[in-house]
Amino acid sequence: MGMPIFAAVEGMTDAAVVERLFAHFRLPLGAIHQAGGKDNLRKKISGYNQTAAFYPWLVLVDLNQEAACAPLLCQQWLAKPSKYMYFRVAVRAMEAWLLADRESLARFLSVPVQKVPTSPDSLENPKAVMIQLAGQSSSRQIRKEMVPTASGGRKEGPAYAARIVEFVTRYWDIEKAKQHSPSLQRCCNSLERLRTSIRGKS
């Protein structure tokens, strides 16, 4: 395939997810722009959208508690997406997409699979659930790296992001995960359409 597809995300863990998705769908990935947080990503969205009038762009953002649903957030952020803009929302956070691969995540975190939620998109705070699961791990290393200490003042452990990237890169099964996460399924459908579109131009 020829023309590279650019992407924009909030940070490092989201970038790892995009890389895996593009590899899974055999899409030519250009640069991934890490905005350094959701607020910064929103500030830059209009610029990305202008470029998407000519080149394909994927922008991935967490829903969090910003809106009641993904379509409403899309309307708030990007009322008029350009022709080649693929704006996708993880409900309610990217961690829900990882929780959706229950068996792989349970092995990675060393927790019983029964503890991993069956409907991650319905969780109010998927990241908090991920950290809670890590706190129940039989692995001392997982607990140390992913769970914040009471006195540390952090919302996550010191190596949380690195561990998430490791899971995404080496263990995450997208085909299994999309069966349990409607928002991931919609993202995959969008990337399928993008792949078909690119093939039609080659």
Number of structural domains found in the chain: 2
Of the listed ranges 106-120, 140-154, 159-173, the least confidently predicted one is 140-154
Considering the domain architecture, whether residues 28 and 128 belong to the same structural domain is answered as: no
Rg value, the chain, Cα: 17
Q: How far is CA 22 from the centre of its chain?
A: 12
The encoded tokens of residue 103 equal 């068996």
Q: What is the pLDDT of residues 36-81, one digit of tens each?
A: 999 999 999 999 999 999 999 999 999 999 999 999 999 999 999 9
Of the listed ranges 103-107, 161-165, 194-198, the least confidently predicted one is 194-198
DSSP string across 150-177: TTT--SS-TTHHHHHHHHHHHT--HHHH
- Interval 108-124 mean pLDDT: 98
Considering the domain architecture, whether residues 170 and 117 belong to the same structural domain is answered as: yes
Q: How far is CA 199 from the centre of its chain?
A: 25
Q: What's this model's pTM, rounded to 2 decimal places?
A: 0.95
Q: What is the pLDDT of residues 11-35, one digit of tens each?
A: 999 999 999 999 999 999 999 999 9
The range of the structural domain enclosing residue 45 comes to 5-91+181-201
Burial of 76 (C-beta count, 10 Å sphere; 0-12/13-18/19+): exposed
Considering the domain architecture, whether residues 37 and 86 belong to the same structural domain is answered as: yes
The gap between the terminal CA atoms of the chain, to the nearest Å, is 7
In this prediction, residue 144 carries a pLDDT of 97
